[in-house]
Amino acid sequence: MDQTLKNAEWRVANLDCEHDAAALRRGLSGQPGIAEVDVYPKGAKVSVRFDPTKTSAAEVQRQLRETGFPAEQGRDLPSLPKPWRSLKVLTSAVSGLLLLAGWLASMAPATEVASLPLYIAAILVGGYFFGREAIEDLAFEREIGIELLMSVAAVVAAVMGQPAEGAMLTFLYSISEAAEGYTEEKTRSAIKALMALAPKVALVRREGREVEVPVEELRVGDLFIARPRQSMPTDGEIVSGASSINEAPVTGESITVEKGSGDRVFAGTINGEAALEVRATRTHADNTLARIIQMVEAAQERRGRSQRFIERFGAWYSPAVLGLGILAALALPLVLGLAWQDAVMRATVFIVAAAPCALVISIPITMVAALGTVPAMARSSRAACMWRSLGR
């Protein structure tokens, strides 16, 4: 490993899925001085190794902003915008309204002529995001995914005189695209719950006076004061005072522990009835709570055996479905004597029916459902297992 390279991490906005992660990698890879880019969509985090002689952290942040994934201030996870401010949600809703308007227009002979442009508009609006993803995957990643299958099916349906079916397909799939980001938000709730355990500021004694500083600015050796009922900002050793410490948020142990001068305390644990003066032994980025958060993030990003198999299977299954659909459209008129229009429509129905939507999302959705229950982990015995693995 090149020792001259520096590593920097940022939480970034607008990072909701693997497609966003791929776009972020493309935006940074190949830039002068950037050697390696790792993206963690579930943690909304990007890690960049760069050559400080050719670029800087500030320059990388500028490139992140230009790519559409601005770095967030602080270490907190960015929250998604409200549904009415999300472009994916808005385009899905507009697509549904255009579909409804087209259907209502088709009910009366006087307005039937207006239904076609309404259906076409519903396809264009609803399919904007996943259609763009399909083109980007095909052009940059050389991959054929579900998005391309759905895009082809919607366009073919409209061309073959079934715009209502194409609009309906586009609307339904756009709903899943709109919900994807909020599914990621569910998985991040565990990390947010852990981050909430530690206070944002610490009361530090410096140069004979007490000042409040952000926990990120705590240095090893600093003396900080833990007030009663306050969480510990970082790991430390008690210099003076005695109190009961509630370690349940970190270890899962429900019984408080009596501690005094010389005993260790850990970030996120809650002081009891008396003020304590504590000497910091770890920085905010390296304390026990930060290491637990890193373990949770690593667990969320790590793919299980079933998910890895499904992703490998989907990588060749989607191209196979598209290829069989094209083959069916060409072969059915020759083999069975069907009309070309009937053959194309049957091939389109086959592509939609065989699209591996449920198969590909089955494992991630199961993991999301499990990980979404983890916010209580900070108060459960599972945290104690992590604690022991850290080598208490």
Q: Where are the alpha helices (DSSP H) in 163-287?
A: 163-195, 248-251
Nearest CA among 277, 281, 243, 245 for reference residue 260? 243
CA distances from 28 to 20, 49, 214 (A): 12, 11, 30
Q: Where are the alpha helices (DSSP H) in the chain?
A: 18-28, 57-67, 87-106, 115-126, 128-136, 146-159, 163-195, 248-251, 288-301, 305-335, 340-354, 357-371, 381-389
Q: Are both 44 and 99 inside the same structural domain?
A: no
Q: Are both 123 and 162 inside the same structural domain?
A: yes
Q: Is residue 85 part of a domain?
A: yes
Residue 386 has pLDDT above 70, yes or no: no
Q: Are both 29 and 121 inside the same structural domain?
A: no
Last residue within a domain, chosen from 194, 223, 252? 194
Task: State how many domains the chain has.
Answer: 3
How confident is the model over 25-29, as a mean pLDDT?
A: 86
Phi then psi dihedrals of residue 119, to 5 deg: -65, -45
Q: Is residue 387 part of a domain?
A: no
Q: Are both 48 and 18 inside the same structural domain?
A: yes
166 or 79: which leads in pLDDT: 166
Give the pLDDT of residue 94.
94
Task: Report d(CA 124, CA 91) in Å as an integer.
Answer: 10
CB-based contact 205:277 (threshold 8 Å): yes
Q: Are both 87 and 105 inside the same structural domain?
A: yes
191 or 388: which leads in pLDDT: 191
Give the pLDDT of residue 280.
93
How confident is the model over 105-119, as a mean pLDDT?
A: 88
Residue 110's domain comprises 79-194
Q: Are both 225 and 258 inside the same structural domain?
A: yes
Task: Report d(CA 21, CA 178) in Å as an integer.
Answer: 17
The CATH number for 245's domain is 2.70.150.10
Give the pLDDT of residue 193.
74
Q: Are both 84 and 18 inside the same structural domain?
A: no
Q: Is residue 313 part of a domain?
A: no
Last residue within a domain, chosen from 152, 179, 194? 194
The pLDDT tens digits of the residues spanning 343-370 come to: 888 888 888 777 665 444 444 445 444 5
Q: Is residue 317 part of a domain?
A: no
Q: Is residue 213 part of a domain?
A: yes
Sequence length of the chain is: 392
How confident is the model over 152-179, as a mean pLDDT?
A: 86
Token match 């020759």: residue? 334
pLDDT band at 11 (very low <50, low <70, confident <90, very high): confident
Task: Report d(CA 184, CA 14) in Å as an integer.
Answer: 11
149 or 381: which leads in pLDDT: 149
The four Cα atoms 104, 106, 110, 116 give a dihedral, to 10 degrees, of: 110
CA distances from 129 to 119, 124, 302, 325 (A): 17, 10, 27, 24
pTM above 0.85, yes or no: no
Residue 391 has pLDDT above 60, yes or no: no
Give the pLDDT of residue 292.
82
The CATH number for 18's domain is 3.30.70.100
Q: Are both 172 and 218 inside the same structural domain?
A: no
Q: Are both 189 and 210 inside the same structural domain?
A: no
Last residue within a domain, chosen from 276, 291, 306? 291
Widest CA span of the chain, in angstroms?
Answer: 94
Q: Is residue 360 part of a domain?
A: no
Q: Is residue 338 part of a domain?
A: no
Q: Are both 238 and 184 inside the same structural domain?
A: no
Q: Are both 189 and 208 inside the same structural domain?
A: no
Give the pLDDT of residue 392.
46
Q: Supply the DSSP symbol for 7.
A: E
Q: Are both 254 and 273 inside the same structural domain?
A: yes
Q: List all residues 6 or more positions away from 270 whose beta carbon is below 8 Å from its beta carbon.
A: 229, 230, 231, 232, 245, 246, 249
Q: Is residue 270 part of a domain?
A: yes
